[in-house]
Amino acid sequence: MAIEFHKDSQTFHLHNAFISYIFKVLPSGHLGQLYYGRAIHDRPDFDHLFETAYRSMSVHYFDGEPAYSLEHIKQEYPTCGTGDIHLPALDAAAPNGSRLLDLHYQSHTIAPGKPPLEGGELPSTYVESPDEAVTLTVTLADALAGVTVDLVYTLYEGLPVLTRHAVIGYTGEGTLRLDRAMSFCLDLPDMDYDLVELTGAWARERHVVTRPLAHGVQGVYSLRGCSSHHFNPFLALKRHETTEFAGEVYGFSLVYSGNFAAQADVDPYHVTRVTMGIHPQGFRWDLHSGERFTTPEAVLVYSEQGLNGMSQTYHQLYRTRLARGEWRDKVRPILVNNWEATYFDFTEEKLLGLAAEAKRLGIELFVLDDGWFTNRNDDHGGLGDWQINYEKLPDGIQGFGAKLHEMGLLFGLWIEPEMVNAGTALWNEHPDWVLHEPGRRPQQGRFQYVLDYSNPAVVDWIFARLCSVLDGVPVDYIKWDMNRSISDAYSCTAASDAQGMVLHKYILGVYRLYRLLTERYPHILFESCASGGARFDPGMLACAPQCWTSDDTDAVERLRIQYGTSFVYPVSSMGAHVAAAPNHQVGRITSLTMRANVAIFGAFGYELDLTALGEHGQDLVARQVAFVKKYRELLQFGTFWRLKSPFEGNEAAWMTVSSDQRTALVGQYLILQEVNAGYRRLRLAGLDPDRLYRVTRLGSGARAAGQPVTAYGDELMRAGLVTTDEDPASEGDFASHLYLIEAAE
């Protein structure tokens, strides 16, 4: 791992065993992009990679050099007004109204390790020792405008990972208005890529969509105040021939939970400009002299091992160097959530009956969901006051939690701290703490309104109120929900010229509250949630090590949701539960085995009435729980491989392999049964080709179904595993199988 600066050629080369990233200081003082991809040998200069040509109608930077135009030079951080007419990385208005910026190289520093982002609240990846990474900071400046930009690059030692962000400073008089400040810009020399995005909506989040790049702008975004169900802050560019297992792919992921834009802009000469950062719509950040603004961090991953290679890099980085705290490396407890069993209609007696059955079946954590506080018998009231409902819980949550602990169960609790219902004390006493413009009726969402987390006083009050609830209460797990998009983004306590800061400050307020709570209660396992998966993003993963993947708990729909989510996020981060059948979202009936065989590839739990399953169902749950306990370290922290895509056919398959390659679990799923179908084989991945394995097909309740077979790893990966059903009629639709693969001694 090294970051080289070749003084004579003014060239930077960031390289490790996997990647090279090369740019240089051009004769004009701008930074020109030369190469990003597989690691190549270092050399004193790479000037032969610099490309430019005369183009009609272009403006040229130097007199007498018509080929030197910023419109056609690949740049590191382009700006407005000096010849580049593409979407810029930075757009700002000076006090005199000028939008012209011309950033020139000033200096740079190279230091071991990776410092946290300037400003304090933005989350980012990190290191635990300085030798894990090296960081380059390049300072650019426009002296006339009084603008400086620090471009910060961190190269990780053992991964094909480069992180980037920018820090914009102002030293002039008056106020500089930032209207667009991207986290990075990358100009690639061709457009021969497919763009991969994760697209969806409520209950069908993060579906994989692939389309060839075309000329013009394409990409994804959110203007919902959160990263959204609809688009995830992620893009990948893969070569047309790239598969899950082989080929070149670039991944781009933003560590941010608010409005974002991720775009690929292809010009008529086939250059692809990738930018990612805070969405400029509605964004305005004023800088006074001496102030600085830090953009969110972007994580760039390059893989020659196909989409799985890209994803496994994100999994390793995000699980171990983005998630943090006591629960980062601990296996997650198996839980049962009362929501789909009772909704709002419960008593303590009913809850304790469910908990007793959960304990008998081996479950470790009981989660009390919505409805435990006053005026909360439906979703029309109660949010914001957080007063305990002693009619439902006679001894309060402290007493209820103590009873669960006496049973030997952990205690989990649901909260939604960013929202308020009309009619609550908080609503009546602090109307200025609700996002809305005075005199204009605010928009409702799920009968609730959004608190103004851009106002630190609101965050402080909510923190104190939650502490008064949680202090002295034996809470082991918190499910933090957020059930509506943000509208009426006007802060009653902010000045008129600060309204463009509200949505970004809101997200900083959310991060701050998470930090305050996790520091005060470090033993609590936090799970983020936003009406299911509306805020499943790297910023949230830095606050809570797992997230509720989707409100849709149907096993068939979860195949697509979990498959797409795995493009960026580790299995340990995906809350995945076995729910009731018929399913409450789609009405589909699937077997208890199918539901569990999908959910075990996640942070596993149940969301149904265990007492209503009958003896056979309860016995099956007990065996499922015992199986997950035995293999959950493998399931949550092993290397995850996608084998067959549910977006491409009637089958889906994936597997996870232990770090020593001695144990693996394969999940294979057939959505609709076929009559007189052909033979089936499944090629596995990630095994030791020279090791002999024992393969056991597991039946209902994860018990062996038939005699094990032995095969070497190379056979299982090249010839494949025969998975043809012996009696497809007995399986029916929505069939699933698990295969346990163990080293044969």
Dihedral sign from CA coordinates of 97, 100, 106, 108: positive
Q: Is 179 an active-site residue?
A: no
Cα distance between residue 148 and residue 137, in whole Å? 12
Residue 255 pairs in a beta bridge with: 297
Cα distance between residue 170 and residue 145, in whole Å? 8
366-376 as b/e, with b when 16 or more CB fall inside 10 Å?
bbbbbbbbbeb
**Residue bearing tokens 């596993």:** 604
Which of 91, 385, 537, 551 does the annotation list as catalytic?
551
Which H or E run includes 352? helix 348-360
**Residue bearing tokens 């757009």:** 91
Give the DSSP per-residue string, 621-658: HHHHHHHHHHHHHHHHHSEEEEEE-TTSSSEEEEEEE-
Pairing of strands 525-528, 477-480: parallel
Find the distance separating the first CA and the last CA of the chain, reported in whole Å.
38
- CA distances to 3, 150, 180, 285, 678 from 293, rounded to whole Å, are 25, 10, 11, 8, 60
Tokens linked to 86: 């593409």
**Smallest Cα–Cα separation from 376: which of 365, 364, 363, 390?**
390
CB 694 within 8 A of CB 671: no
C-alpha of 407 from chain center: 35
Give the DSSP per-residue string, 148-173: EEEEEEEEESSSSEEEEEEEEEE-SS
- What type of residue is 230? H
> For 375, which DSSP code?
T
Which of 102, 481, 552, 554 does the annotation list as catalytic?
481
Q: Is 497 an active-site residue?
A: no
Give the DSSP per-residue string, 61-118: SSTT-TT--TTTS-BSS-BSSSS--S--SEEEE-TTS------EEEEEEEEES-PPPT
**Residue bearing tokens 């914001």:** 384
Q: What are phi and psi of 447, to 5 degrees?
A: 65, 25
CB 713 within 8 A of CB 743: no
Cα distance between residue 315 and residue 312, in whole Å? 5
- 3-class secondary structure for 661-678? CCEEEEEEEECCCCCCCC
> For 384, which DSSP code?
T
Cα distance between residue 236 and residue 225, in whole Å? 23
Cα distance between residue 669 and residue 654, in whole Å? 9
CB 717 within 8 A of CB 683: yes
Catalytic positions are 481, 551
